[in-house]
Structure 1
Amino acid sequence: MPLINVIPGEKIPTAPLNTRLPVWRIPGWLLLVVWLARGTFRTVVLAARYWWITGPVAVSWWLAETHGWPVLLGVFVGLVAVGVTWWRLHPVSWLRFGWYPAVAQIRRLWIYRRGWTPAMTACGLVGVHGGDRWVPRLLGVRSNRWGDRVTVRLLPGQHPDDWAKAAPRLAYTFQLREARAYTTNRPDRVVLYFARRDPLTGTVRHLPVPAAPDLSNLNLGVREDGTAYHMRLTGSHVLIAGATNSGKGSVIWSMLRSLAGGIASGLVEVWAFDPKGGMELAAGAPLFTRFAYEDPDSMAGVLEEAVKRMRQRANRLRGVTRQHTPTVDEPLIVVVVDELAALTAYLTDRKVRDRIRESLGLLLSQGRAVGIHVIAALQDPRKDVLPFRDLFPTRIALRMTEPEQADMVLGDGARDRGAVCDLIPETSAGVGYVVLDGVREPVRVRFSYLDDDDVTELAATYARGGDR
């Protein structure tokens, strides 16, 4: 089979070699026919590929020739009036189905298609097969207010990690803010997200509290593409890591605010641990079923009580169900630990430290199925500080001080795939990257911010067992 039929890309033309070949006499009329056929074929292909240009041009020409220029002008004015009316009456659907699709096609042609081959060549994404150079095929562009999603077909031998590493260079090549590569359901494609503007520059105010929390879809903030960010708590534990003033409190309080409706109704119990003497979490004390902050020994005792509760519940559910469903009688238990390293690494009392480590290890390894979930925050992500970090399916990395810390929290290669936690500005508290088990690419998120007054109001309004 010819090679051209098996390479899913576009061949880069090469200059002919200056060699002496045998002379073949070809009739002029045959050469003319070949040229005409080739030109006709290419014209048809280009007309079909850019139908959104050739179609309106052809229709406009037909109207002008058949009915005259006044009719064409009237049709144009009518379409403009329809578009303006649509925009005024329902701007959301106008942007989604009218404006942004047009922007995507224009940017595909003028920004990406025009410089596609030079960009691929400069960033090392060109493949060589059979002595010819091939460029990955640009399949489509989708745009919104914040950026562009560019779908590309991979060449043989390419891997999504190749595109993840090249994404920052591609962003600068196309003169855009930022770029990241994402996999799709199809293994032969990759999606490049190019950010034109950043929706995460401003503070995200606290979000509405649902009457009944959806544990598989907690609304916590805003993604980098401007859409709402939802987190799944069911069947998961959450690890939050970040430097001082990186916004770990924003993540914790965003989650507690999303759960507040369930706390008030008794569907959710929160067991809070604050090794800083209660300085971080005391404002939300009315939300907590258990609040341990006085000394490590008492905190170890409460954790052991949680383990006992877990085993009792496992005995009741054994043979009945494999996944706990929260009820008022059997509520979901959320164990919130602020500054986990103070309990697992920095304690001088070895016996107490070992008790805490043992209890946390049991909760992390056995608690999810029976409805006990751990949310833990810390500053130091080293392995000797948190030996069981791999037991957290959901990991959040906020601003870090060193580049390698992103991989410590999110997994090997996370920074190469776009989680540049060390480049998050100090002014962007609450901005971080989220990685889920089974998902390769990190998601950039800004969590909502609750100030002291917001936390006090939340605790008073949704106090445990209270009425809203």
Structure 2
Amino acid sequence: MPLINIIPGDKIPVAPMNLRLPAWRVPGWLLVFWWLLRGLVRVTVLAVRYWWLTVPTGLALWLRLEYGGLLLASVALAVAAVCLAWWRWHPVSWLRFGWYPMVARVRALLIYRVRWASVMATCGLATVFGGDRYVPRLLRVRCDRFGDELTVRMLPGQIPDDWAQAAERLAYAFRLRDGHARSTSRPDRVVVRFLRRDPLATTIDPLPVPDVPDLDGLALGVREDGLPYRLRLAGSHVLVAGATNAGKGSVLWSLIRSLAGGIRSGLVEVWAFDPKGGMELAAGAPLFARFVYDDPDGMAGVLEEAVKRMRLRAARLRGVTRQHVPSVEDPLLVLVVDELAALTAYLTDRKVRDRIKEALGLLLSQGRAVGVHVIAALQDPRKDVLPFRDLFPTRIGLRLTEAEQVHMVLGDGARDRGALCDRIPDSLPGVGYVALDGVREPARVRFSYLTDDDIRQLGRDYQRHDRNDDDQEVTE
């Protein structure tokens, strides 16, 4: 056999492989039959999916062909009369079960489903694998007076935080005002809410005062879906943070107003601390069992007195119950502190500052079970200003000046989940986001606004039952 000399670098000649692909000859009539079958299946699926369009349309055509246009017009007028009578007789049920479901179906068809695949791709929520495109499935659309709620089945590998970060882009893609995403009980689903009209754009008037405050749900304002917002005070402390003129007073006075019925009956006792010389809280002085201002040493003494009462109550309840129940003989103690940073960071007297920090730390860590609650407001949320912010299970972020402050107040990742406190405009004081321990998504709320006259009237109507203004205890 002859040897072939191969020079390094030369290509070895390779004979081309002879491949013949199998050819299938399909009759033309079979292709036509297959296309017709696929079309019939798709039309059937669409007819079943959009039954609310196909059924009335089919019925109208049948009436028109069988009985003429006069009967069709009569039936249409009768249906319109029934809807009008329903709306006049019971508008709430008409809107809930009649109008809004119809609006939701129309908006789902004309706005969301038409552009769904393209929007998912441009917002980074669709993916491609193996040459196939995968798009999250839109399951349901619900509408109400202020916005739309979309229930979506996420793709494998997605989490609700991915949708929360993309919610603002989705809102702009669908030409809507704002968007937020929240998780559901189903791990594969997420709910995205878009606003068509903001219910928080107008000032919220003072809410009615209940005779007995519901500590599991104090009505303080309105949520972004138009429903009342209720804050759970039982077993919690509340931190309120916001820039100047952000509406911290609205939160404090809304909460005090919701407790006013209990203050008058003696079920609730409020101790107020106003380091700004009483400028914010003095108008409601008749509501307070203790009202201290100006003197830091006096404030430290009152806080230490609250610690003593907390410890005595804990010793009395030990082995009897694990949760305090307010009564006239043993009322709920609520400490309201305006501008907390003035007590924990800005005091020049180090000894007094340390006393205040120690007392607050004890009250925050041990007071919830024995009915001692702290409501604190501040402007500067830095760690050195408030070292024990994690002891506040309920945190409210109003308008803030920087995006980093949102994470300081509401916790890591709160801004990515929709708490855009740094984007709240100056024209919306009292609007903020509420974050609760154990709840992933913050709630957007506007708190009611009380004028000075409202506060003074509140003090006259609900002052404590066991004293008059002349025997009010005030420490300057």
Deviating 4+ runs (over 6 angstroms): none
Deviations 1:116-165 (A, max 9, x none): 01100000000233331111000111111111011100000111111111
Matched, 1:112 2:90: no
Distance of 1:190 and 1:345 partners within structure 2: 42
The Cα shift of 1:42 comes to 1.2
Give the aligned partner of residue 159 of structure 1. Answer: 159
1:7-406 equivalent positions in 2, closer than 5 A: 22-406=22-406
What is the percentage of aligned positions where both structures have the same residue?
70
Deviations 1:251-282 (A, max 9, x none): 00000000000000000010111111111111
Unaligned runs of 5+ in 2: 1-19, 468-476
Give the aligned partner of residue 13 of structure 1. Answer: none
Deviates more, 1:325-334 or 1:232-241: 325-334
Distance of 2:94 and 2:214 partners within structure 1: 30
The Cα shift of 1:27 comes to 2.3
Query: How many aligned residue pairs are there?
Result: 448
Distance of 1:292 and 1:418 partners within structure 2: 38
1:104 aligns to what SS in structure 2? helix
Distance of 1:271 and 1:128 partners within structure 2: 61
AA of the residue aligned to 1:71:
L
Distance of 1:130 and 1:230 partners within structure 2: 49
Distance of 1:244 and 1:67 partners within structure 2: 71
The Cα shift of 1:389 comes to 0.3
AA of the residue aligned to 2:222:
V
Give the aligned partner of residue 16 of structure 2. Answer: none
Deviates more, 1:257-266 or 1:24-33: 24-33
Deviates more, 1:383-392 or 1:81-90: 81-90
1:383 aligns to what SS in structure 2? coil
Give the aligned partner of residue 6 of structure 1. Answer: none
1:346 aligns to what SS in structure 2? coil
Normalized against structure 2, the TM-score is what?
Answer: 0.92
AA of the residue aligned to 2:60:
S
The Cα shift of 1:445 comes to 0.7
Distance of 2:258 and 2:48 partners within structure 1: 49
The Cα shift of 1:417 comes to 1.3
Distance of 2:312 and 2:64 partners within structure 1: 82
Deviations 1:163-189 (A, max 9, x none): 111111111100111111111111111
The Cα shift of 1:67 comes to 3.1
The Cα shift of 1:22 comes to 4.2
Normalized against structure 1, the TM-score is what?
Answer: 0.94
Unaligned runs of 5+ in 1: 1-19
Larger Rg: 2
Distance of 1:24 and 1:368 partners within structure 2: 79
Give the aligned partner of residue 474 of structure 2. Answer: none
Deviates more, 1:294-303 or 1:235-244: 294-303
Distance of 1:447 and 1:22 partners within structure 2: 74
Distance of 1:381 and 1:68 partners within structure 2: 73
Give the aligned partner of residue 12 of structure 1. Answer: none
AA of the residue aligned to 2:455:
V
What's the RMSD between the two structures over aligned residues?
1.4
2:148 aligns to what SS in structure 1? strand
Matched, 1:462 2:454: no
